[in-house]
Amino acid sequence: MDSGDLKIEWARQYMPVLGTIADRFRKDKPFEGMTIGMALHVEAKTANLVKTLAAGGAQVFITGCNPLSTQDDVAQALDRVDGVTCYAKRGCSVDEYYSAMDAVLDAKPDITIDDGMDLIHRMHTSRRDVLTKIIGGCEETTTGIHRLRAMAEEGKLEFPVIAVNDTPMKRFFDNVHGTGESALTAIMATTNNLIAGKWLVVAGFGYCGRGIARKASGLGAKVIVTEVDPRRALEAYMEGYHVMPMNKAAEIGDIFITTTGNKDIINEQHFKLLKDGAILSNAGHFNVEIDGAWLNKNAEQIIERDGIQSYLINGRTIHLLAEGRLVNLAVPKGMGHPIEVMDLSFALQALGTRFIAEHHTELKPGVHAVPDSIDREVASIKLASLGLGIDTLSADQEHYMCSWDVGT
Amino acid sequence: MDSGDLKIEWARQYMPVLGTIADRFRKDKPFEGMTIGMALHVEAKTANLVKTLAAGGAQVFITGCNPLSTQDDVAQALDRVDGVTCYAKRGCSVDEYYSAMDAVLDAKPDITIDDGMDLIHRMHTSRRDVLTKIIGGCEETTTGIHRLRAMAEEGKLEFPVIAVNDTPMKRFFDNVHGTGESALTAIMATTNNLIAGKWLVVAGFGYCGRGIARKASGLGAKVIVTEVDPRRALEAYMEGYHVMPMNKAAEIGDIFITTTGNKDIINEQHFKLLKDGAILSNAGHFNVEIDGAWLNKNAEQIIERDGIQSYLINGRTIHLLAEGRLVNLAVPKGMGHPIEVMDLSFALQALGTRFIAEHHTELKPGVHAVPDSIDREVASIKLASLGLGIDTLSADQEHYMCSWDVGT
Amino acid sequence: MDSGDLKIEWARQYMPVLGTIADRFRKDKPFEGMTIGMALHVEAKTANLVKTLAAGGAQVFITGCNPLSTQDDVAQALDRVDGVTCYAKRGCSVDEYYSAMDAVLDAKPDITIDDGMDLIHRMHTSRRDVLTKIIGGCEETTTGIHRLRAMAEEGKLEFPVIAVNDTPMKRFFDNVHGTGESALTAIMATTNNLIAGKWLVVAGFGYCGRGIARKASGLGAKVIVTEVDPRRALEAYMEGYHVMPMNKAAEIGDIFITTTGNKDIINEQHFKLLKDGAILSNAGHFNVEIDGAWLNKNAEQIIERDGIQSYLINGRTIHLLAEGRLVNLAVPKGMGHPIEVMDLSFALQALGTRFIAEHHTELKPGVHAVPDSIDREVASIKLASLGLGIDTLSADQEHYMCSWDVGT
Amino acid sequence: MDSGDLKIEWARQYMPVLGTIADRFRKDKPFEGMTIGMALHVEAKTANLVKTLAAGGAQVFITGCNPLSTQDDVAQALDRVDGVTCYAKRGCSVDEYYSAMDAVLDAKPDITIDDGMDLIHRMHTSRRDVLTKIIGGCEETTTGIHRLRAMAEEGKLEFPVIAVNDTPMKRFFDNVHGTGESALTAIMATTNNLIAGKWLVVAGFGYCGRGIARKASGLGAKVIVTEVDPRRALEAYMEGYHVMPMNKAAEIGDIFITTTGNKDIINEQHFKLLKDGAILSNAGHFNVEIDGAWLNKNAEQIIERDGIQSYLINGRTIHLLAEGRLVNLAVPKGMGHPIEVMDLSFALQALGTRFIAEHHTELKPGVHAVPDSIDREVASIKLASLGLGIDTLSADQEHYMCSWDVGT
């Protein structure tokens, strides 16, 4: 095996859910005779999704969704897989990037799988020629979904798309545990800082914020939560965290992680209050949560280290990780979400794709949620892969659940 | 101060939210000229709700909702408060119980506050005479709400009732922290058992189950979670708990706590598997979760201790706390929910009652949710009482939240 | 079974180590023909120690070591046990107390077991007549040990005494877990307060302090540690606790627990800084850690509730639990240490007593440590009772441990 | 600043204790006129120790203690510092390595600082010429200390050496928190595995094992502890961990970390039981804890990835990180201990070195412990750097501590 195969194989063994689904696909061939076009980050975890789809009988054509996220050895290994053609190349030019995308579309996919809706966008603009054959698509990102919803509302989305994003499984595992662990790992591996004893500020107490807060606390940090919602703030207080506004947290914090989904969470007024050596990072999707533009414009001095920009402000140095981009992916040592978490997310993709293949005639053009049964099925397969059993309701218990006159 | 006043005063100082609301009521007199009829557990925490309503100008008439939960010294102290008449008496006969309830209704309340819908039920049956004046009611229990919904669906509920039960504030604090702490305290104070190191089985991973699991784990227990929902089971697994079906947990567990809301969670098949000395308890609303009837019928021997029934089964002894009733209330040392948690729940009651007083003309007969603004207001008052500030969204941030084209 | 037997039986089933030792004693009869005189708290856990010694062939004569800690039903049940005579009576007069002690000594014990050295003291003063037969004693308390050491240094202790107090087993389990859990349970059951979210101040970061801090934190409290030792303070900081001097903690804390073994930890200067409603308690051996005398003398008003004294100081009310005595024992709902922890401590007593019986000819008058092999044996029996196996060093590994030239 | 200076500066800001000591040294010049010879890992944290000594007036000559641990940019930056000469070079040949060491000795050091006793060893063998001037040395590693003790016992160690290794400060912080965090970070950053929910096996429940267990548990792992000592095993059980022998843990564990200081902890008999995909790593000093030699000899297939060796045994693949060497240092993404922890350890080095400079005439040849006052001083400086105050005993409290007659 060469290095690409080794990486794919490494991820494979920690992706039992996708493995179970691949076995089913191999037997059922739900994509027999179909072509699937994909634009995703081409790295080892994704490669296992691609191979799962190919095992289901699909001809898969894939390219990258970002020129910098492709791993060339993985791309080459994928291209050698039966039924898979891979056009992704790291560091390609803009022209090469879009040529690769067009090459995928030239294969006339029945189904598309997007991470940022690049393929779907192109099909509705310069490549409307391929709209004739398409039966549906899957889209993973929040951003992509929102743009698709806008298109759908204007009546411009011409086929059904499954929003593989907002399910309970994604929120619980991807956000709480995936972001929770990998953001902390990325910060520790990049800064060589100790977490124990530190004041760690988490902006936002949604699913990502909760995960980070609990795990940082588990490592011995004192966690400060900032929020705009009084109920979430009170929840954070009751779980033992410190609650305060950011302009107070700014004076205390050693390490900051933003998770709000909103902009300017740490901004000019806070930069001026930070302690010397404070470390700022973002675990939200976009790099808007920390106002890096202000820092780049106003700092007295800027120093670059691997994954760290240091700014001199009023005689104090503050550090911004990865330019405020998603810290678990964007620092040099970042590996994105842990494999096991992507196993669950890509399992939703694989079953969502099968759902389109089998039910597209029942689906109108527009954005559709992942059926709840698929979300639960992924949980069940994961439990089975762990050898964990659960209880089932007896008929009597089912009846009790529904009849509120009993037992009162 | 006599003992009743002392108990009320003790609770008062840990009920800052109700205190803030009482101050507002004292100034605004929202209940001026109104009569409020109540049937609740007459103990120190409740007394502070009653005094808050009286501070708002109401004439309050109150009796118990359970002959055994009344504390006579508190009842007498309440009766001495200006504007309050209290008819509750511990250990009263059935006749006395209903006479007291009728005495409350004789006062012709404008608003009722129920814990189990006893007053409302009576007003729709034997005391329809008082329906003419009533403008609305509040009901706290899950059971009461369900019976009221059934009545409403049949068109038989003749005035609006606020369901002070299912709000986020109740779920987060009453269930997670209130039940979580007080169930464990009750078990430890009753059994003199050590939690550290033990296998503690939590049936159900809803809000109550999560609270108990986290706190027991924080005391050093190894926690087993049983569930019927695969996603909740997987959540429990990811949080570090052990997941298995009850018939496997039955062989391992030292202490069991049921929180499912369903029946027969621990039943005949499990009793036979339990270890010698296993302790069973229930933190759900009803005593149906553990099949005590089977035990009482089939045990080779039954021994009674304070708050503990011990059953000899197949040569092994297993212990049931408080006959399987809500353990934090029903054991002799139980004090119900912690004061601070009832402060939040009764604050919802107080503001819900004011909402009826001020908006009854806009409300149709039927069951109404607590307005979200009231739920958030209670959180805000609590944060203020703790001196905790939070952030507010800037106009720019508000705009960013709503406009998904920005930043993508 | 009557109530005394029921209590003893309840404790018995959670004392597997003592049970294993009783089985051995029953077979080996190490105390055949011997008389053991005891002065201990006569309650259910102690009763199991007494029965264990009797199973070993001893004639046991026992009385209380404190008139208020005797449970009469347990005392009567003990007195009915073959080979046991119990003179303890709750609420006896001083004369009766010492008469009972003399009655124990009249039995001419070969070995004494003391909790506070009352028997040993009496034997060296008014009852020197019984010194002729005695071969040795056991003493459990820190205080007793220190007084015995002082006697020994002056050459006045006339027989060997085993100090069943300072072993690793006692420190790890009695202090960390026993005090840790039972102090918090006692506070929660007495005050009906919520721990989650609160500022809980632990004075002293020794074994007791660590246990309380970790468990309170596990329940959701924010823990402040006060210390006089910089290394312990830094340990506390690194474990995520807040470190500050008491005069700063006094202004912040909601609940205080002293565990230092020193006096005046919370004193006049702190009382004046406390928040309204602050709760003070002590988990150290003596009631000297909180200066209750000052409070009783200087408070503007004093209010008594069950287990709580409330003091009005400068318009603020502060609450002292159980007059500052050991909170897990001294509040009305307190049950002392959890049963499983006393199982370990009393196992040390039982094996220490056997050690005297078998080795007294090798022991000089004076205070002797529990042999380390006994301490480890208790751990091993406990692990076996839990069904837990551990590894053993291979000969090769033993050699590696000792020879530092290998592998470097 | 070039990259070496940037790295040194990065570490500097998280080393406040060394910074405080450097300020004192700059003023007191304790090493004025002295030469210090060093052989240490030449990277950013060490560089700050070197600069601290130079600030104290020393002429410092330094080389590496391992050809692979030198960072060339840091070495060059160090060499440019006034008073410092650095001979370290990454990847140097064996001849170059010892030439560099001789160059350090050619400077005729008054004091040596070793990490593995290379300098001291050389001075007692081929370079006895430099023994005439030396007044003492410091040694950091456990191994070095043991070899020095052996030399001392044979009367062959010719000057005093301070053992900067076994102090409470090292044990608490270096082991519990330094190893605890950095071992987990290294594993997560290398394997991209999720910790939450996993079975993580910690061999050994000493200081390192405790740190790893607590932090892994804080991230959501289920922790299994293996031990040979029954008391430590029982401690682990009481803290909520699972206790079992390794041959049982081997069948269950997902991730293994050895911390015992002994050999063959995971060996042939365990390899055959491991689950497919199990990950093995070592956080103990030497690579003897996991029997890699057996794996290399007996595996059916061996695959190499960055920092991971994968072995095929009986159809299952098991993974060994960094050839079983200290995982937090030896994997490509490893950065060794967190900076703040080395700040404490190097502060002990700096003050130990000063102690030799000022007290060497009082010290006999042999191995000497770090004076307890220095250990406490480091803790106090760290607390001061954090702005944390602690209490001090009053005269009255001091007296109470010593006089056991009071208060009993």
Q: Which chain B residues are within 8 Å of C188, Cβ to Cβ?
A: 181-182, 185, 338
Identify whether the C-beta of residue D259 lies closer than 8 Å to the C-beta of residue D284. yes
Give the pLDDT confidence score for residue D406 in this predicted structure.
43
Cα Rg, chain D, nearest whole Å: 23
Identify whether the C-beta of residue D39 lies closer than 8 Å to the C-beta of residue D101. yes
| 8 Å CB contact of B181 and C189 | no
Q: Find the mean pLDDT for residues A218-247.
A: 97
Q: Which residue of D has its CA nearest to A3?
A: D305
Q: Which chain A residues are within 8 Å of D339, Cβ to Cβ?
A: 192-194
pLDDT digits (tens, 9 = 90+) for A359-399: 999 999 999 999 999 999 999 999 999 999 999 999 999 88
Tokens describing residue A66: 């970002």
Task: Quote the crossing angle between the two packed helices D72-79 and D3-12, to the nearest 10°.
Answer: 80
In 3-state terms chain C splits into helix, strand, coil percentages (rounded to 5) of: 50, 15, 35
Q: pLDDT tens track of chain B, all 408 residues?
A: 799 999 999 999 999 999 999 999 999 999 999 999 999 999 999 999 999 999 999 999 999 988 778 999 999 999 999 999 999 999 899 999 999 999 999 999 999 999 888 899 999 999 999 999 999 999 988 778 888 998 999 999 999 999 987 788 888 898 999 999 999 999 999 999 999 999 999 999 999 999 999 999 999 999 999 999 999 999 999 999 999 999 999 999 999 999 998 999 999 999 999 999 999 999 988 899 999 999 999 999 999 999 999 999 989 999 999 999 999 988 999 889 999 999 999 999 999 999 999 999 999 999 999 999 999 999 999 999 999 999 999 999 988 877 544 433
Angle CA C245–C247–C251, to nearest 5: 115
Q: Position D310: which residue type?
A: S
Question: Which is it for strands D308-313 and D316-321: parallel, antiparallel or unpaired?
Answer: antiparallel
| 8 Å CB contact of C150 and D397 | no
Name residues whose C-beta falls within 8 Å of residue A26's C-beta, 6 or more positions apart in sequence: A55, A56
Give the pLDDT confidence score for residue A381 in this predicted structure.
98
Q: Which chain C residues are within 8 Å of A214, Cβ to Cβ?
A: none
The shortest CB-CB distance from D333 to any of A219, A220, A333 is to: A333
Binding residues of A for NAD(+): 141-143, 206-211, 227, 283-285, 328, 337
Q: Which chain B residues are within 8 Å of A286, Cβ to Cβ?
A: 407-408
The shortest CB-CB distance from B277 to any of C14, C186, C317 is to: C14
Q: pLDDT tens track of chain C, all 408 residues?
A: 799 999 999 999 999 999 999 999 999 999 999 999 999 999 999 999 999 999 999 999 999 988 778 999 999 999 999 999 999 999 899 999 999 999 999 999 999 999 888 899 999 999 999 999 999 999 988 778 888 998 999 999 999 999 987 788 888 898 999 999 999 999 999 999 999 999 999 999 999 999 999 999 999 999 999 999 999 999 999 999 999 999 999 999 999 999 998 999 999 999 999 999 999 999 988 899 999 999 999 999 999 999 999 999 989 999 999 999 999 988 999 889 999 999 999 999 999 999 999 999 999 999 999 999 999 999 999 999 999 999 999 999 988 877 544 433
| 8 Å CB contact of B13 and C317 | yes
Beta strands in B210-365 (DSSP E): 222-226, 242-243, 255-258, 279-282, 301-305, 308-313, 316-321
Question: Which is it for strands D222-226 and B255-258: parallel, antiparallel or unpaired?
Answer: unpaired
Give the pLDDT confidence score for residue D401 in this predicted structure.
76
- Phi (first) and psi of residue C13, to 5 degrees: -70, -15
Identify whether the C-beta of residue A139 lies closer than 8 Å to the C-beta of residue A152. no
Q: Position B260: which residue type?
A: T
A191 CA: distance to closest CA in chain B (Å)? 27
| 8 Å CB contact of B220 and D239 | yes
Q: What distance lies between CA C163 and its chain's CA centroid?
A: 13
CB pairs under 8 A between B and C: 101
* Cross-strand partners of B317: B312
pLDDT digits (tens, 9 = 90+) for D267-318: 999 999 999 999 999 998 889 999 999 999 999 999 999 999 999 998 999 9
Give the pLDDT confidence score for residue B143 in this predicted structure.
76
Position A144 confidence tier, pLDDT thresholds 50, 70, 90:
confident
Q: Position D50: which residue type?
A: V
| 8 Å CB contact of C177 and B196 | yes
Provide the 8-state DSSP code for A41: -
Looking at the predicted structure, is the pLDDT value of residue D407 above 50? Answer: no
| 8 Å CB contact of C389 and D234 | no
Q: Which of C68, C265, C41 is nearest to C141 (CA)?
A: C41
Burial class (CB in 10 A: 0-12, 13-18, 19+), A285: middle
* Cross-strand partners of A203: A226, A258
| 8 Å CB contact of C262 and D383 | no
Identify whether the C-beta of residue B381 lies closer than 8 Å to the C-beta of residue B185. no
Question: Which residues from B are below 8 Å from D when comparing CB atoms?
Answer: 196-197, 217, 220-222, 237-240, 242
pLDDT digits (tens, 9 = 90+) for A255-314: 999 999 899 999 999 999 999 999 999 998 889 999 999 999 999 999 999 999 999 998
> Residues B157-187, buried b or exposed e (16+ Cβ, 10 A)?
bebbbbbbbebbbbebbbbbbbbbbbbbbbb
Position D65 confidence tier, pLDDT thresholds 50, 70, 90:
confident
Give the pLDDT confidence score for residue D403 in this predicted structure.
58
Angle CA A230–A235–A236, to nearest 5: 95
| 8 Å CB contact of B172 and A234 | yes
The shortest CB-CB distance from C218 to any of B11, B13, B219 is to: B219
Mean pLDDT of chain C: 94
In chain A, DSSP finds a helix count (H) and a strand count (E) of 18, 15
The shortest CB-CB distance from B238 to any of D197, D217, D238 is to: D197
Tokens describing residue D91: 């990847």
Identify whether the C-beta of residue A264 lies closer than 8 Å to the C-beta of residue B201. no
Looking at the predicted structure, is the pLDDT value of residue D404 above 50? Answer: no
| 8 Å CB contact of C405 and D237 | no
pLDDT digits (tens, 9 = 90+) for D93-116: 999 999 999 999 999 999 999 988
For the CA atoms of C220, C225, C230, C232, what is the dihedral angle to 10 degrees?
Answer: -60
Residue C103 in marked binding region: no
Strand order in the sheet with D136-139: D84-86, D59-63, D35-39, D111-114, D136-139, D160-163, D366-369
Instruction: Identify the structural domains of chain B with CATH numbers, from first to last.
Output: 3-170+337-385 (3.40.50.1480), 179-330 (3.40.50.720)
| 8 Å CB contact of B383 and A408 | no
The shortest CB-CB distance from D220 to any of B196, B240, B242 is to: B240
Question: Which residues from C are below 8 Å from B when comparing CB atoms?
Answer: 1, 6-7, 10-11, 13-14, 177-178, 180-182, 185-186, 188-189, 192-197, 215, 217-220, 276-277, 303, 305, 308, 317, 333, 335-336, 338-341
Q: In 3-state terms, what secondary structure has residue A242?
A: strand
Q: Using CA atoms, how far apart are residues C356 and C22, in angstroms rounded to an integer?
A: 17
Q: Which chain B residues are within 8 Å of A405, Cβ to Cβ?
A: 147, 150
Q: Which of A132, A135, A133, A157 is nearest to A144 (CA)?
A: A157
Q: Which chain B residues are within 8 Å of A379, Cβ to Cβ?
A: 230-231, 233-234
Q: Using CA atoms, how far apart are residues A172 and A179, in angstroms rounded to an integer?
A: 10
Give the pLDDT confidence score for residue C307 in this predicted structure.
94
Angle CA C202–C207–C213, to nearest 5: 35
Q: In 3-state terms, what secondary structure has residue B192?
A: coil
Q: Which residue of D has its CA nearest to B217?
A: D240
SS3 track for chain D: CCHHHHHHHHHHCCCHHHHHHHHHHHHHCCCCCCEEEEECCCCHHHHHHHHHHHHCCCEEEEECCCCCCCCHHHHHHHHCCCCEEECCCCCCCHHHHHHHHHHHHHCCCCEEEECCCHHHHHHCCCCHHHHHCCCEEEECCHHHHHHHHHHHHCCCCCCEEEECCCCHHHHHHHHHHHHHHHHHHHHHHHHCCCCCCCEEEEECCCHHHHHHHHHHHHCCCEEEEECCCHHHHHHHHHCCCEECCHHHHHHHCCEEEECCCCCCCECHHHHCCCCCCCEEEECCCCCCCECHHHHHHHCCEEEEECCEEEEEECCEEEEEEHHHCEHHHHCCCCCCCCHHHHHHHHHHHHHHHHHHHHHHHHCCCEEEECCHHHHHHHHHHHHHHCCCCCCCCCHHHHHHHHCCCCCC
The shortest CB-CB distance from A195 to any of D13, D181, D335 is to: D181
| 8 Å CB contact of B222 and D239 | no
pTM for this model (two decimals): 0.95
Tokens 């979430």, located at residue: A232
Q: Using CA atoms, how far apart are residues D177 and D184, in angstroms rounded to an integer?
A: 11
CB pairs under 8 A between A and B: 149
Q: Using CA atoms, how far apart are residues B327 and B186, in angstroms rounded to an integer?
A: 7
Looking at the predicted structure, is the pLDDT value of residue A407 above 60? Answer: no
Q: Position B323: which residue type?
A: E
